[in-house]
Every structure is written in C-alpha cells, then in structure tokens.
Amino acid sequence: MTSPLLPGPSDRAAAFGLTIEKLDELFETLPNMPIGPRLSRDEIAARLSEFNFDRASGLELSVTAAIDLLRDGIVHSAHPRCFGLFNPTPAFHGVLGELIAAAFNPQLAVWSHAPAAVEIEKHVIRQIAARFGWVDPDACGHFATGGAEANLTAVVVALTRAFPAYGDNGVASLSRQPVLYASADSHVAWFKIAHLTGIGRDAVRLVATSGDGRLDPVALETAIDTDLAAGRAPFMVVATAGTTNAGMIDPLTECASVAERRDLWLHVDAAWGGAVVCSDRLKPILSGIERGHSITVDAHKWFSAPMGAGMFLCRDPELLARPFRVAATYMPSRNALDDPYLNSVQWSRRFIGLKLFLSLASVGWKGHALAIEGQITIAELLRRRLNDERWRVLNDSPLGVICFILDTQSGDIDGIVAGVQNEQTCWISAAEFEGRRVIRACITSFRTRRDDVEALIAALERARIRSNADPSFRR
C-alpha cells in the first residue's frame, strides 16, 4: 500500500517534472525579474489562507503555490543585480546536493550510521584545510549551519583550552575574567556568542582599526596589556578575513605574532573571504591564515553553496572533542575523532557538506577560482565606474565589497539606498565604514555582468536625483 507521504511512481515523476520545469524557468527568467518581494504581508496571508490543512490540496497545487510564493515574496539574493549581504547565487551543483541529501536523509551524528557521508564531509574539510596551508594530517573540523555557529565553536574551544575548569565548573569558577579581542569592524555575533558562553558581552574587546577598516595590531597589543594589568585573562584573538561591512582583511601575520607572543588562541573568521583560497592568484591575500589555530569559512557565502553551510576548521582534534564529550549509551558508537556528535555543537546532523563536495568535485578549485576572480573583476569595474560618476569609494578591499558616498560628502545615504531598493531593479544596502554611513554594494553572484554594473550606476543616479528632490520619498 502506498503512503500519502510517498506518492506512486507516476505521481512522483509528475511532481519532479513540475518542480524542475518551474525551477528551470526561474534560472532563465530571474535576471529580468523584479528583485524584491512584490507581495504585501496581507497578500502573503491571503495566499496562505488557501491552505488550512483540514483539506489536502495535493502535490501539484502545493508545489505550485510554494514556488510562486517564493518567486513573488522574497528578495532574490540569487539575482545578478543583488549587490547584497554575502548571500550568493547558488551553484547548480549545490541545488542538486540539497535534493540528494534530503532524499537519502542520512544521519551524520555517528560515523557508523553514514560512513560515506561523514567521509565525504571529512574529505572536503581536509582538502580545504590543506589549501589554507595546514599540512598537519591531524587538521580536522566539521560542517556547521553557518559562520555564527562555527565562531561559537571557536570560542568554546578556546575557552576550554585556556581554562581547564571552564567545562566542568563554568565561568563562575574562574578567578579572572576571560577576554577576547576582535576588530571594531568584526561581525557583531561575537556579542551573542559571549552572552551564550557565559563570559558576558563585556568580555568582547572591539580593537580599533587603523583607519582603513583593518584591525590595528598595536592597539591589539595595548588592549591585551591593559587587561592583563587589570587582572583579567585574555584568551583569544579573532582576525577577520573579509569584514562584513567592507571586505577588509585584518593583518593576519601581525595578529598571529601578537597571539603567539601572548599564547592566545588565534581564530581567523574568514566566513566570506576564505573562499579566495580556491584561486592560486588570489590566495596570497590570506597569507598568515595558516598560523590560525582555527578558521571559520562559509560554504554558503563565496563558495556559492545554498544556505546553510558553514565550516569550522581546527588544528587540534583532541581539543575540538573536549567540550562536546558526553556519554550517551543509546548512541551506536562513541568515538570522538569519528563521530560528529562528539566534536560539534549539533547532534542529529544533516548532510550539509554534499552541496560543496558536488561543486568542488564537478568544477574543481579552478571552476570556483574562475567564479571568484570574475566577481572581483566586476567589483573593480564597479569601483571605477563609481569614481567616474559622482560617487567616492572609501574602502580599499581586495575582495568584492565596495563602500561609497556621494562625492559631495553629503547626501541622504539611507534615502538613496531605499530609493534603489524600491525600484526593484537592483538591491544594495547601507552600512558603516570607519564611523561613516555608507552605501554598500557587494558582488555576490557569479552571474553579475558589466551591464548589471551599469544598471546599478543608473539606479543610483535616479535615486540620488529623487532623494534630492523629495527627501521624504523613501517612505
């Protein structure tokens, strides 16, 4: 007897056919579609009210409704004119990876339950670690939901290393206040992580930048000295390789030297910028990263994997397993070096790594390098075009993020950003760079071309004119 949860072969074929037809249409038509949501909250609610679950609507209607809702009701971060927040156009291989992982639904908590899947993930992690210059065969790590989870793991591991009593007796048992250091332009989730780990938000020192969005190593050393003199306990330095606002890379070598002199854990948050490791030409930008004790790199940023897919890399497998040790008699095995539930935050674990494995296996480092180098070329073009027109670029990122203002230095930044977003042809955002409100445009799609850059320049000009004429237009 068939279950309502597994339609028969002909219904499955019809549903696969319909889904693929509609998604393929999306791939073709996306570049010409409005970029933002076209449905209001009420319109979304009205469409959803068709599905009250007292009645079964059937697969065809449900799939069609879901795809149409997404088509009309989201910011299309996959759009080539989305100059957005690091959410990429997903690689086609990754989309297939999601489907395949869901169909098999392997449980990656323990090695013995899904040896092939666990080994595929380990293989990807080891290859990426080696590319970062970690020749140590012990280098390990795991896939995470994203950069925030990977960074949380970094703090837990660094605390465990620095304070042997932390795991069993908690922060309250420590005689000195633990402190971690990250640049003033680092990702703000460090505060959430400090909250969650119990060290408290005040334990995060935001170290001054050198005026160019990069952490100032002299200020770092001074901050550490000040805390030591005050009886606090520095335990971790975070260097960011690709800041969220401006794509700047902290001086990794200098950060490593400071951390080594003070025997502090060095974590490199390369959530976005880490993917340049694919390119032989660009990877020297990350020089010094190999001196990190741990690294965060997101597959769902510049590796163009569908969300969510982060990675946490660590040089010390025994240390990585320490915070996650637990004795669960009902689990099929208990090998901390093999079983992901014993060396990561998650327990039941989705097969996150397949999507990255498929794209790397299919197109190699070279294919990914081509995508990233192409996006950097587009970013350079956009930088030139902005400087040609009436804009002034403020940051000097070697990656694909551009922060700019009007060359008159005044102007309603938020109004211009809202004006571009409201037009629905391009998507940009507002950010802060070195204390100034700026417009932020990031190349996140390997589909972005020269004409998309010209479309953005034109949209900016229209928004500028409108914001001058009517400063209230963004409402």
Ligand X SMILES: Cc1ncc(COP(=O)(O)O)c(C=O)c1O
Q: Which residues bind ligand X (CB under 6 A)?
A: 86, 146-148, 151, 187, 189, 240, 242, 244, 269, 271-272, 298, 310
Could you tell me the smallest distance in angstroms from the CB atom of residue 150 to ligand X? 8
Between residues 30 and 239, which has the closer beta carbon with respect to ligand X?
239
Q: Name the 3-class secondary structure at 430.
A: strand
Which DSSP symbol is given to 427?
A: B
Rounded least distance, CB 187 to ligand X, Å: 4
In terms of CB distance, is 86 or 235 closer to ligand X?
86
CA atoms of 157 and 464, how far apart (whole Å): 48
> Are the C-beta atoms of 213 and 395 separated by less than 8 Å?
yes
Nearer to ligand X, 110 or 238 (CB): 238
Helices (H), 231-335: 252-262, 317-321
Cα dist. 362→91, 96, 355, 358 in Å? 11, 12, 11, 6
Of 336, 338, 277, 298, residue with least CA distance to 149: 298
Measured from the CB atom, the residue of 185 and 339 that comes closer to ligand X is: 185
Residue 14 CA: distances (Å) to CA of 22, 41, 60, 249? 12, 31, 8, 49
Cα separation, 282 vs 76, in Å, equals 28
Question: Which residue lies nearer to ligand X by CB, 57 or 145?
Answer: 145
Closest CA to 161 of 268, 258, 234: 234
Taking the complex as a whole, the smallest distance from the CB of residue 378 to ligand X amounts, in Å, to: 20
Contacts (Cβ under 8 Å, ≥6 apart) of 405: 391, 392, 394, 411, 413, 436, 437, 438, 439
Kindly tell me which of 107 and 346 has the beta carbon lying closer to ligand X: 346
Whether residue 442 contacts residue 395, with contact meaning beta carbons closer than 8 Å, is answered with no
Q: How far is the CB of 308 from ligand X (least distance, A)?
A: 7
CB of 393 to ligand X, least distance (A): 20
Report in angstroms how near the CB of residue 318 gets to ligand X at its nearest.
26
In angstroms, rounded to a whole number, what is the distance separating the alpha carbons of residues 4 and 422? 43
Task: Report in angstroms how near the CB of residue 245 gets to ligand X at its nearest.
Answer: 9
Which C-beta is closer to ligand X: that of 189 or that of 403? 189
